[in-house]
Amino acid sequence: MVWIGVILAGGVGAVLRFLLDGAVARRAGKSFPFGTLAVNISGAALLGFLGALALDRQAALLAGTAFVGSYTTFSTWMLETQRLGEERQLRNAVANVVASIVLGIGAALLGQWIGGLV
């Protein structure tokens, strides 16, 4: 049963990533990967929130690993950063790395704080 939950939660997370990334990218333009940034920051906040809830092992697997793991995307973040570097958009590449790390840590801490209030 857990495997079915992982498959379903992972599928939902991947679809939501695709939808949010596309919606943000359409509004913000394509010169900077704002869609991936929005996905990863919101995922960090959600994972921080879930971590504060002290879920049991199976619930943590489904929510954290399956859903949030498929929703967020390290590989796309790195590929987009590398692409910015290839296009000689070094400021955008550095900004993507710095913003992702700083905002991601902040979002995770905020999510953890909110989860602690629940």
Round to whole Å and give the CA distance between 111 and 23. Answer: 23
Residue 7 DSSP class: H
Are 30 and 91 within 8 A, CB to CB? no
Residue 35: how many other CB atoms lie within 10 Å: 23
* Residue-wise pLDDT tens digits, 94-105: 999 999 999 999
Identify the pLDDT of residue 11.
96
Please name the residues in contact with 83: beta carbons below 8 A apart, sequence gap of 6 or more.
none
Are 53 and 118 within 8 A, CB to CB? yes
Question: Is 69 annotated for ligand binding?
Answer: yes
Question: Is 5 annotated for ligand binding?
Answer: no
* Residue-wise pLDDT tens digits, 52-91: 998 998 898 899 999 999 999 999 999 999 999 999 999 9
pTM: 0.92
